[in-house]
Amino acid sequence: MTLYSEINEQPERIQSLLAFQRKEVERIALEIRKRDIQYVFLAARGTSDNAGRYANYLLGAHNRLPLALATPSLFTYYKRPPKLKNALVIGISQSGKSPDIVSVLEEGNRQGCATLVITNEPGSPLTQRADYVIDIRAGMEKAVAATKTYTAELMSIAMLSVALHGNKKLWQDLEKTGRWMKEALKQDNFIAQAAQRYRYMDQAIVLGRGFNYATAFEWALKLKELAYINAEPYSSADFAHGPIAMIEPGFPVLAIAPKGKVSGSMVEMLKRLHMDISAELVVISNDKRALALAQVPLTIPSDMPEWLSPLGCILPAQLFAYYLTLAKGYDSEKPRSIRKVTETR
């Protein structure tokens, strides 16, 4: 059960990453601070793109850095890359092999930008185009569906943000993350039983907001690639602007709604779905108000701060996708039509 074992080894991988890469990340942050960085330009695909969504919120909220997600086709097919003056160009790729991400880093170098790569393959083609490299140290990931490389990417982004910020107290929160993740994984048996309830589900909406906008996309991706469910991710704010009209009584809505700045708006949306529409709710949270509205409540530790909650929230989501895949009779190790490494141009 490769996927299952990789889900469960994530807390240890995160602790190892923090222990072995903190000094390197602090060194990189020191070098970046010497540059006149005005914004971040980030290129990624798939799961790594979802990690980029987390960076969008975290680097904005903690470091006041605007972040633009790259459109790699402008670099490859259209040959019309944007001007990147004063940008920190970041490429995130588990394999470091995707030619379109490499092309963005190459253009960043050509325009004289600082370039950084976050990858699980420190000797890959992508790293050869970078000024700085963060090795996420996830170890070999054999399962096609990415799990531990995703959370290691999130942790690398969080470490970079803290190092750029310079607040030592935030490092203390990072040091607790492995413990928080272990707590989130203790719901294994409950999730295995709950997944049976949804074995005939073929479509769902996944809601998140703020830091967990990324989690909504990643949970939806895992449901698509493993259980072949048409799972559509939305910000709860965007969802209110039209797509909510799709929801009928019993329609499954999966939500990530931990305590934090956006929890009030998420709870209001969940109340509307529960009380006015009678939607079927699966909720990941540490907010009692949100959990009380769910048919299936999944918890993360109560003291996990919002900015790190994506590292906790994605674990119940991964287990849910895994057990639902088994409940539907599919092979979690051999999802159809996809490969471990996808090289897009």
- Which pair of tokens denotes residue 213? 């906008």
> What is d(CA 199, CA 2) in angstroms, rounded to the nearest whole number?
22
- Which pair of tokens denotes residue 261? 């700045």
- Which pair of tokens denotes residue 225? 């690639």
Sign of CA dihedral 63, 287, 153, 66: negative
Sign of CA dihedral 271, 305, 213, 57: positive
The neighbour count for residue 79, using CB atoms within 10 Å, is 9
Specify whether 182 is catalytic: no
DSSP E strand boundaries for 136-180: none
Residues found in the chain: 345
Sign of CA dihedral 223, 149, 19, 212: negative
Q: How far apart are the first and last CA of the chain?
A: 32
Do 118 and 156 touch, CB atoms closer than 8 A? yes
Residue 205 in 3-state DSSP? strand
CA-wise closest residue to 53 among 213, 239, 208, 162: 213
- Which pair of tokens denotes residue 46? 């798939």
Distance of CA 264 to the CA centre of its chain: 22
CA-wise closest residue to 244 among 212, 270, 215: 270
The residues assigned a catalytic role are 340
